[in-house]
Amino acid sequence: MTTVTMAETPVEEIAPARPGPRYSLFALTLAIIVGLVLGYLGGLLTPFVTKPGDDSPEAGFARDMTTHHAQAVEMGLIAYRNSDNPAVRQIAIDIATNQQGEIGMMQSWLRRWKLDPTGSQPPMAWMPNGAAMVRDGLMPGMATPEEMEQLRRARGREGDILFAELMIKHHIGGIHMVDAILMRTNDEEVIEAATRMKNTQRTEVNILRQLLQDLKESAKDN
Amino acid sequence: MSVSTPGGTQRPSSDESTAKRGAAGAKPAAGKAPGTRSGAGQTSGRRPAGKGPGSKGKGRKPVTPVKVSQGPAWGPIALFTAVGMLAVGIIGYGAYAVIEGTKSWQERAAEIPGIINVRETDPKHLEYERHLPGKIEYTKYIPPVGGVHNNAWQNCMGDVYDAPIANEHAVHSLEHGAVWITYRPDLPKDQVEKLAERVRGKEKMMMSPYEGLDAPISLQAWGYQLKVDHADDKRIDDFIKALRVNASIEGPNALCANGVTETGTTPRDDAAGHAELVNP
C-alpha cells in the first residue's frame, strides 16, 4: 500500500516540468521492481497455491481412503490371528501390511500438503453424491460394527468365509473410491498410487473369490 | 543506448543515485528519487554519454512524451494505483493463506477457548517408564488425558461404546492418536446421537459414557482436554480437527484396531487373548 501512495506524489510534481521522460524512467524502474517483487513472491507462494487444499478431492481421498484402509487392516489382523487356514492367513497379513503402508503414504501426503488428517467436510464429500453413499458413518464396502464383532468371534471355516466375503465387499467399495479420484485429480503421485491400489485390490478380489469358492466347496464335502 | 534524448537533462549525480536506489529495490528510495530528479530537470545539465547504471532507462524515453500532456497524468496514476492495489491484494492474500496454512495444529489447539493443555502446564504427568498391568489410579484429570497405562489399548476404530470403559486402556488409545469423547450418562439421547455421528466409522475416534463427569461432555486427546455443555458446541469439531491423529505420540501408523472391544471399567490386560497381540 505504501509503495502506491508514495509513487503518486512525485508523478504529480514532475508532470508539469518534464512529463514524458521523467515519468517514463520512473515508471520503468517501478515496473521492474514491482515485477521482480511480484515474481519472487509468486514463486514463494506457488507451492502453497498449487498444493491440494483442505476441501480438495485429493485431500478427501487421502483421508477417506485412510479410514477405509484402516478397517481392512483390522479385518486382516483379525483373520491372521484367528484363522488356522494358511491361505487365509497369507492373504490376510498381505492385505493388512500393504494397506497399513499405504495409510502411512497417504498420511505423509497430507502432512506435506500441510493439512490435518481430519477434514472439515463430511466423509466422501469430495465425490459427487459421495455423502449420500455414507451409511452410519460407513463408506462403500465397509463392514458394520455388528459384522466386525461377528468376525472377531467367528472361528474356523465360518470365520474364513466371513472374512473373505467382508473383504471382497470392502475391496469393491475401495475400487469405487479409487475410480472416483482417478477421474478428479491431476496429481501424478496420487494417480500413480491410486492406480496401484486398484490393481492390487482387483487381484486380491480374484484371489478371495477363488478362496471363498474353495471354502464353500470344502464345506459341502464335509 | 548512450544517446541522450532532446530533453535529456540528467545530472550525473542524481542519475546515479536514482539508479543505485532503484537497483537496491528499497521502497523509500523509489519514493525519494523522483523528487531529486524533478529538481534536476530544471537545471538542464547535459550529459551525453549515459553513466552506466542510468542509461538503461533512457533508451525508451522518447516513446512516452507524446502521450503525456500538461497537468497530472491521471491515466497512468489510476493505472498504477489499480495495479498497485491488485498487487497488494494478491500479496496480502498469499501472505494470509501462507500464515493460516502453516499454523501448526498446536497453535490451532491453543486457540480453542477452554482447552486444557497438560503437555504445557504439567508435562511430568504424561511421562512414564513402562506399561503397567492392572488397575491404575487416575485422579488428577478426570477423565484421564495421558500418563502410564495398560499394555492393551481400547479399540478406537470409530467405536461407540454404550457403557463405561477402562481408563487404563483408553489412555493407551489417546497415545495412539485417538480422540476420546466422554459424556455424562444423563446426557439427552439426541445429544448422544450427535456425538456418535462424529465417531461412527472413523478410526482414531471412540466414545463412551463416563460416571462422575463435572461437565455434560468432555473430550480427551493425549495431553489435551476440553469440557463443553452441549453436543452442538462448535469447539468439539475444532478439537477433533486439530488433535485427532496429530496428538498421537506414536504417529499416524499407530494402531487403533485389535484393541480391547469390551466395555467395563476393570482393565483386562491380564485377560487372555489381548495382551498377546498388542505391543509385541
Nearest-CA residue of chain A relative to B258? Answer: A74
Q: Give me the residues of B, 165-224, that contact A with CB < 8 A.
A: 197, 199-204
A113-125 average pLDDT score: 94
- Contact of B253 with chain A, judged by CB distance below 8 Å, is answered with yes
Mean pLDDT computed over A79-101: 97
One domain for residues A158 and A176: yes
Kindly tell me the sign of the dihedral angle through the C-alpha atoms of A51, A53, A54, A58.
negative
B137: closest CA of chain A, how far (Å): 30
Confidence of residue A166 (pLDDT cuts 50, 70, 90): very high
Q: Which residue has the higher pLDDT, B67 or B12?
A: B67
Average pLDDT, chain A: 90
Could you read off the pLDDT of B215-262 as tens digits, one per residue? Answer: 999 999 999 999 999 999 999 999 999 999 999 999 999 999 999 999
Q: Does A209 touch chain B if contact means CB atoms closer than 8 Å?
A: no
Q: Same structural domain for residues A90 and A141?
A: yes
Are both B87 and B126 inside the same structural domain?
A: no
**Chain A residues close to B255, C-beta within 8 Å:** 73
Interface check B279 vs A, CB under 8 A: no
Q: Which amino acid is at A1?
A: M
Residue B66 in any domain: the answer is no
User: Domain tally for chain B?
Assistant: 3
Same-domain check for residues A9 and A61: no
Q: Are residues A109 and A168 in the same domain?
A: yes
Domain span holding position A39: 2-48
What's the confidence (pLDDT) of residue B69?
A: 58
> A178 and A81, same structural domain?
yes
Give the distance from residue A16's alpha carbon to the nearest chain B alpha carbon, in angstroms. 6
Domain identity same for B98 and B172: no
Query: CATH number of the domain that B138 lies in?
Result: 3.40.30
- B90 touching A, CB under 8 A? yes
Using CA atoms, how far apart are residues A135 and A144, in angstroms rounded to an integer?
9
CB contacts, 8 Å: A119 with chain B: 241
Cα gap B148→B133, rounded to integer Å: 10
Residue B33 lies in a domain: yes
Please indicate, yes or no, whether residues B165 and B232 belong to a single structural domain of this protein.
yes
Contacts of A27 in chain B (CB under 8 A): 64, 76, 80
Please give the tally of structural domains in chain A.
2
- CB within 8 Å of chain B, chain A residues 20-49: 20-30, 32-34, 36-38, 41, 44-45, 48-49
pLDDT of B29 reads: 41
CATH number at residue A210: 1.20.1260.10
Is some CB atom of chain A closer than 8 A to the CB atom of B246? Answer: yes
What grid cell was written down for A130? 459421495
pLDDT at A106: 98
In a domain, B40, yes or no: yes
Per-window interface: B 91-120 vs A, CB < 8 A: 91, 94, 97-98, 101-102, 105
Query: In the structure, what pLDDT confidence band is assigned to residue B62 with cuts at 50, 70 and 90?
Result: low
Residue A44 has pLDDT above 90, yes or no: no
Q: Burial of A114 by CB count in 10 Å (0-12 exposed, 13-18 middle, 19+ buried)?
A: middle
Task: Tell me, yes or no, whether A42 and A115 share the same domain.
Answer: no
Among A201-205, B125-129, B241-245, the range scoring the smallest mean pLDDT is B125-129
Do A44 and A59 have their domain in common? no
Asked if residue A183 and residue A149 are part of one domain, the reply reads: yes
Interchain pair A26, B34: CB under 8 A: yes
Q: Does the pLDDT value for residue A81 go beyond 70?
A: yes
From A220's Cα to the closest Cα of chain B, the distance in A is 31
Determine, yes or no, domain membership for B272: no
Cα–Cα distances in angstroms (integers) from residue A127 to residues A11, A56, A58, B15, B97, in the given order: 54, 10, 10, 61, 25
- Note whether residue B21 is domain-resident: yes
A57 in the same domain as A35: no
Verify that B207 and B124 share a domain, yes or no: yes
- In the prediction, which pLDDT does A16 show? 53
- Same domain for B97 and B144, yes or no, is no
Contact between A26 and B33 using a beta-carbon 8 Å cutoff? yes
Q: Tell me what the mean pLDDT of segment B135-141 comes to.
A: 93
pLDDT digit string, tens, across residues B11-61: 444 444 444 444 444 444 444 444 444 444 444 444 444 444 444 444 555
Which letter does DSSP use for residue B255 in this model?
-
Query: Are B57 and A3 inside 8 Å of each other by CB?
Result: no
Coil, helix or strand at residue B265: coil
Residue B79 lies in a domain: yes
A7 vs B31: CB contact, 8 Å cut-off?
yes
- Complete edge-to-edge strand list for the sheet that includes strand B217-221: B116-117, B224-228, B217-221, B179-183, B205-209, B157-160
Q: Are residues A188 and A159 in the same domain?
A: yes
Size of interface A-B (CB pairs under 8 A): 209
CA distances from A104 to A62, A67, B130, B192 (A): 10, 12, 26, 32
**Across the interface, which of B41, B80, B90 has its CB nearest the CB of A18?**
B41
Residues of B in contact with A77 (CB under 8 A): 257-258, 277
Are both B123 and B233 inside the same structural domain? yes
Q: What is the pLDDT of residue A45?
A: 75
pLDDT of residue B17: 44
The pLDDT of residue B140 is above 80: yes
Looking at the structure, tell me whether residues A175 and A78 fall in a common domain: yes
List the domain range (segments joined by +) for residue B43. 1-61
Sign of CA dihedral B267, B125, B257, B180: positive
- Within 35-74 of B, beta carbons closer than 8 Å to A belong to 35, 37-38, 41-42, 57-58, 60-61, 63-73
Helix (H, G, I), strand (E, B) or coil at B159: strand
Q: Is A142 on the interface with B (CB under 8 A)?
A: yes
Residues B212-249 as b or e (16 or more Cβ within 10 Å = b): ebeebbbbbbbbbbbbbeebebeebebbbbbbbbbbbe
Task: Kindly state whether residues A10 and A75 are assigned to the same domain.
Answer: no
CB < 8 Å from B in window 54-83 of A: 66-67, 70-71, 73-74, 77-78, 81
